[in-house]
Amino acid sequence: MSKTNLIIAVFLVTATALASVFMKWQDLTKADSGIYFSEQATLKELAKKNDVPVKEILHHLSHEDYAYWQLPRNKPLEQLAIDPAIVKHALEHEDEDNPIFDILKFVLWAVLLAVVVLYILKKKSIEKFRLIAMPLSVVIFGVALGDSPNPMEATVKIFKLFNKMTGEPVIVVISFILFTLFSIWGAKLLCSWGCHLGTLQESLFNIPLFREKNKFQVPFVVSLVSRLVFFYCIYYAAFWNRP
């Protein structure tokens, strides 16, 4: 293990801590006065009063009924064809985050990735380490502490930013850059350790039954084109022509 990698590890953990505090600073400093809600207010007014993008509210409402994407944004809530309680619940959902808890999660996640890279660079064999650490990581970061931080979430928020669904461009970009730096530092680090689903897949792969290699391999070009087409289809279905 070189001093350079140790310095990089300290830098990335520190950067994660500072970025987390910056991203949650508004939540840390704002008074806990609850949400603003009135049936006489419009969706735009509710969004502005609660500092939430109106599309985020509609996105949450669409979980109940996709047709809610079509709700007028400039009419009072009492005139809309929706139960006001559902809108209130959506606002409460946006306001329920615990900023200190989120900061600690991000820092612990960064420490985990740093420890993993430094350990891998130090040891020649990491099979036993993977066998224990990966399932433990899934349980802690994928279940006990929730599904965030998540590299895919940062990527999704970039697309949301383009679609005007995320209200803080600086925060979205910082988060994306942070994940990118970790990805550059460790090849496949985020896929194997930083992403909870990826870590779960790797954990399953460690089971002897799943480690048998298939004789057939899809050509790289076919695999790459298929992924790009699939990615485009998902993007088109999720964001294209959305109101």
Encoded tokens for 67: 């047709």
Least Cα distance to 171 among 47, 13, 55, 18 occurs for 18
DSSP string, 10-36: HHHHHHHHHHHHHHTHHHHHS------
Q: What is the pLDDT of residues 169-222, one digit of tens each?
A: 777 788 888 888 888 888 778 888 888 888 888 888 777 666 665 556 677 778
- Indicate whether this model's pTM tops 0.75: no
Determine the average pLDDT of the residues in 104-110.
90
- Where residue 50 falls (left for φ over 0; alpha for ψ -120 to 50; beta otherwise) is alpha
Q: What is the pLDDT of residues 137-156, one digit of tens each?
A: 888 887 887 766 777 777 77
Residue pair 61/89 in contact by the 8 Å Cβ criterion: no
To which residue do tokens 């979430």 refer? 153
Residue pair 64/31 in contact by the 8 Å Cβ criterion: no
